[in-house]
Structure formats: C-alpha cells, structure tokens
A and B are shown apart, each in its own frame.
Chain A
C-alpha cells in the first residue's frame, strides 16, 4: 500500500449522473483486485479536507491504467467533475479486501453507483468462472454503456422499465429458475436496501453473498475507527480494513 501523486488521464461523463476517472498507477505487487478501493486527495487542499474513497472499476496489469466510476455528490466530486486530464491527484492504494468466489457460478449484482467494482468483478471472475452480470439503474439515461466490457454479457434493469428488465436487480434475480442459482456466489454493490435484499435472497437459498459496504471514512487505513459497521455477532468492523467486502451473514442488517 502506498501514497503517490498521479495525473488524471481520462475524465469522461458516461451517462446521466456517472463519470469515469482514469489514471496510471503502478502498484507494488499485482494490481488491485475487484472490491478494493483507493483514497483520493486533492493535492494542496485543506478544504475538502478528508480523502474520499473510490472503488476501483478497472485495472490493466499491462498498461497500469486504473479507473473508478463516480457520481457527483459533494466538494471533492464536484472538483473531479471539472478536472482536466493532466491534473494531479494523490492516490493512496490499494486499500481494503477483495471479492472472492469459491463457486464456479458467480452473479455480479450492481445497483446504481455500485456499478464500478461490480464491472471489475465481472471482468476479473469471467476468466475462471461463469459470470452473470446484473446491473440496475433508475432509468435508461443513467446507463453508462461504454463502461461495459462487450465480452461480458450483461443484464440491464431499469426501475421505470425504459430499458431492459423492468424492475430492480433483486426482482430480476427472482425471475431466474432456482436450479440456475445452484453453486453460485453473489457479489453485490449498491444502495444499502439493495444489499439487504441481496443478503436476504441469498440467505433464503443458502448461497454465499458478499457485499461491498460503505461508511463515512477519514483515514482509510484502520486508525481513526470512524468507518465502522455492526457485526451480526456483536462488535464493530472497519469498512476500510476488515472490509469493504463482507459476507452478508457477518453483517447486522437493520
């Protein structure tokens, strides 16, 4: 894990609400894996003060090009939205743990801004697993078409039915024949209610479900104890250190 200054190589709006940021970043060992994240700092700034966490959406081991998909939420992402290629940003990475899949079949489930690490997971796991990529958006204008790897088949769901399956990703999962869900690991990233629903869906079918959690973060390295979530067995876990990937069973869902 290290902290270094890099230049923005690409900063593109992909669709309504979603942008992709890319930079060249050479990691110490093998590159980051799907699920891991970086903490980004705007160099020289005290406002915004804290770094912001972004999940990797892609990493090319040959070109060392890293990407994330972001939406504009506050101070830092507003700066990012307006940033030109060539601008310097400070990246501390790789942080956190990664998705894994002990089964041959994988369902990669992405809701809204959860898309980034799920696209990375689908691309990564499709090398050795049978991957079903299921992504959901509010409506067709939010779909970031160019972010999808054409070699990985994807199911698109829209809440308003303007494209693909009409409904959310969990409703889509419920249309699948039960036998298609055997020997399957579910990887999920998206809004908290989606993750809770995925957890329940998996629990009812005795499937392993791994969720990527999010919590307000300061240090990103496990020191400040800010980003904790409640564990099912009592106690708290740090999203930046014990996570962000947790098995749905170990999380206390309220």
Chain B
C-alpha cells in the first residue's frame, strides 16, 4: 500500500496536511501530535512585510462553524526564514508556506526570497483570502488573473506550486482550469466562504471587519462538491479541505477526487486530530483493497 502523492517534481509521503492559518508555524502543536507523522504543514500565510492583521473582534462562532477575519497576521518573510524555519526544517514532513501578496509583483518577490531555503518543499499560493482589502480575492475570482499570476510564479520555481482556490466564485472549475493552464502543479480548495454575523443587541456587525471567512464542519459539503467539480476539470492533483473533522470526512474528499487533504479549523477544537487521519485512511484502503491514493478516484 502506497499513500504517497506526487505533486509536480516532489512527493508527499502521505495525503494528510494541516491548513494554513490553523496551525501557526507548527511548533504551537508539538505537544499534541507527532508532527513528523503529517504529510505536510501549510504554514500561516506569509506576506512580504509583517502584518498585524485586522482589529478585533476578528473571530466569532457560527452554527457548526466560525468566521475569521484575522487579516493575514503574520511575521513576514524575513522573520519566517530566520525564526520559524529553524524549527520547521527539523521536521520530517513537507513544509509548504502559504504565500499572500497585494500585487503580482509581491507574490513574485516572496517566491524569490523564499526560494533559496531548502527546507521549503513547495508553495501554496493564497489567491482566495476574503479578509484583506485588495489583492487576493480580486485575483482569485478572475480566471485570466489566476492563469497570469500562476504563469508568473511558475517561472520563479521548480518546486511544487499549489494554487489555493476561493469558493466565492460562480464556477470553481474554471478557476482550477486556469491554474492548470498557468502551470500549477496542484490546486487546493476550498478557502473560506464570505460570511457575516450581526450582533442584534448592538445592531452592528459582530466582526470589526464586518465580514469574515466561514470555515468548520458547516462548510464540508461545499468543499466536497467543489472538489468533485474541480477534480473532473483538471488533470493535476486536487488537495481538498473544508470542514474535515475525522477520517470519514477525509475519505469523502478522497472519493470526490482529492489526492490529498488538509484539516483546518478542527485543529482548534481537537489539536491532536490531524495525527489520526493517516491511520484511518490506511485502514479504509486495506478494507477496500485500495493500494494507492489514486484508486479512490475511480470508485464514485
């Protein structure tokens, strides 16, 4: 049985990852699970300069979910390399920084800065965050922009290039196709859905940012449907995420056509849960006579 996945020029040792924004820079979770057992850690989105993020409140619970409007608070590229990479480089899993910029040039510059770092396995390009004023969401909803920026970044690296897609679009398969046309090695989806909570006592939006991104178990069916759609539109691997809380959720994504998965919001609730997925996937494959991850894709 082989749980590995090829993405571009490299191999993920298993299909289990943890989603950007939900796992900090890895070290925060070392007490809860063996990080080396993960296939990949997608770090908090990195921007060129450090960002403080949005004013609070910037998180709020919703039915079986939550909104976040963190606003890409991160230490910036330089501090990521000097203060976070040392710990991450000691781990036996793919270290995949999520990259976020306001302009195409910022994305390009970020890859340029990070590229010499050997500990970085590949990149997940954030073209889908709904919580920043300009940039990401604007790029992520226009197929032409997605293809252009992917092609620009493709020239910067031979490492795996994963484009993270927004669900806040009419048809995610057109965006996935555009990413593949631009040279992406894989697409990951879904990022968060735009949502809003209104405080009826104060008669104001609860979040200081007014809207936020919805994640958690409530969005799982949306993620699965979009994975199903995207996987049928592209030949490159699809990495599925959205509301994964357990092995069964991850299996839905694999059956929908994903070659790998990411657990996200559930890390906040059960910080050790990501460490249980590989074993569960392995057991299912054993029971059903599957020998490799792509065997999932012909079952539906």
Binding site for B on A (CB under 8 A): 1-3, 41, 46-51, 75, 92, 215-229, 235-236
Q: Does B117 contact A (CB under 8 A)?
A: no
Minimum distance in angstroms from A36 CB to a CB of chain B: 16
- Find chain B residues with CB under 8 A from A51 CB: 268-269
Interface of A is mostly: loop
From known contacts A219-B268, A223-B24, infer whether A49 and B52 are also in contact, taking CB-CB under 8 Å.
Answer: no
B59: contacting residue among A48, A75, A224, CB under 8 A: A224
Give the one of B52, B58, B63, B269 with max A CB within 10 A: B269
B150 contacts partner chain A, Cβ-Cβ < 8 Å? no
Q: Are the CB atoms of A236 and B267 closer together than 8 Å?
A: no
State whether A236 touches B271 (Cβ < 8 A). Answer: no
Contacts of B65 in A (CB 8 A): 49
Q: Are A222 and B24 in touch, CB under 8 angstroms?
A: yes
Chain B residues within 8 Å of chain A by Cβ, number: 35
B268 near A228: Cβ-Cβ < 8 Å: no
A216-B28 contact, Cβ under 8 Å, with A46-B217, A224-B68, A228-B73: no
Q: Which 7 A-B pairs have the closest CB atoms?
A: A223-B24, A226-B59, A219-B268, A223-B28, A46-B64, A46-B217, A225-B73
A222 CB → nearest B CB, Å: 5
Let me know if A3 and B28 touch, CB within 8 A.
no
User: In the complex, A95 Cα to B272 Cα: how many Å?
Assistant: 16
Assess whether B53 is in contact with A225, with CB atoms less than 8 Å apart.
yes
Report if B29 contacts A (CB, 8 A): yes
Given contacts A1-B31, A224-B268, contact A236 B66 (CB under 8 A): no
Q: Which residues of B contact A75 (CB under 8 A)?
A: 61
Task: Note all chain A residues with C-beta closer than 8 A to B61.
Answer: 48-50, 75
14 A-B interface contacts by CB (under 8 A): A3-B271, A3-B272, A46-B217, A46-B245, A49-B61, A49-B66, A51-B269, A223-B28, A224-B21, A224-B24, A226-B70, A235-B52, A236-B52, A236-B53
Is B57 an interface residue when CB atoms closer than 8 A count as contact? yes
Across the interface, which residues of A come within 8 angstroms of B70, CB to CB? 224-226
Q: Which of B65-118 contact A (CB under 8 A)?
A: 65-66, 68, 70, 73
Q: Is the Cβ of A49 less than 8 Å from the Cβ of B64? A: yes
Residue of B at shortest CB range from A236? B52
Query: For residue B60, which residues in chain A have a CB less than 8 angstroms away from its CB?
Result: 216
Instruction: Enumerate B2-26 residues with CB–CB distance to A below 8 Å.
Output: 21-24
Number of A-B contacts (CB under 8 A): 89
Beyond A3-B272, A50-B269, whether A224 also contacts B31 by CB under 8 A is: no
Bound Cα distance from A1 to B65, whole angstroms: 25
CB of B216 within 8 Å of the partner chain: yes
CA distance A35 to B52 in the complex (A): 26
Could you give, for residues 125-149 of chain B, a 1 whenever the CB lies within 8 Å of some chain A CB and a 0 otherwise? 0000000000000000000000000
* Cβ contacts under 8 Å, B73 to chain A: 225, 228, 236
Distance in angstroms from B131 CB to nearest chain A CB is 12
- B residues in contact with A3, CB < 8 Å: 32, 270-272
User: Taking A3-B272, A50-B269, A216-B57 as contacts, is the C-beta distance between A224 and B22 under 8 angstroms?
Assistant: yes
Q: How far is the CA of A228 from the CA of B70 in the complex (A)?
A: 10
Q: Of all chain B residues, which has the CB nearest A222?
A: B28
Please, which residues of chain A bring their CB within 8 A of the CB of B272?
3
Residue numbers in B under 8 Å from A215 (CB-CB): 56-57
CA distance A48 to B29 in the complex (A): 22
Q: Which residues of A contact B271 (CB under 8 A)?
A: 3, 92, 219, 221
Shortest distance between the CB of B274 and any CB in chain A (Å): 12
Asked whether B28 lies within 8 Å of A221 as measured between CB atoms, the reply is yes
Contact with B31, one of A2, A46, A50, A236 (Cβ below 8 angstroms): A2
Query: Which A residues are in CB contact (< 8 Å) with B21?
Result: 224
Docked Cα-Cα span, A222 to B21, in Å, equals: 11
User: How many Å lie between the Cα of A227 and that of B58 in the bound state?
Assistant: 8
How close is A230's CB to chain B, nearest CB, in angstroms? 8
Complex: how many Å from CA A3 to CA B268?
12
Extra pairs beyond A3-B272, A49-B64 (10, CB < 8 Å): A46-B245, A49-B66, A49-B216, A49-B265, A51-B268, A75-B61, A217-B59, A219-B22, A224-B68, A236-B73
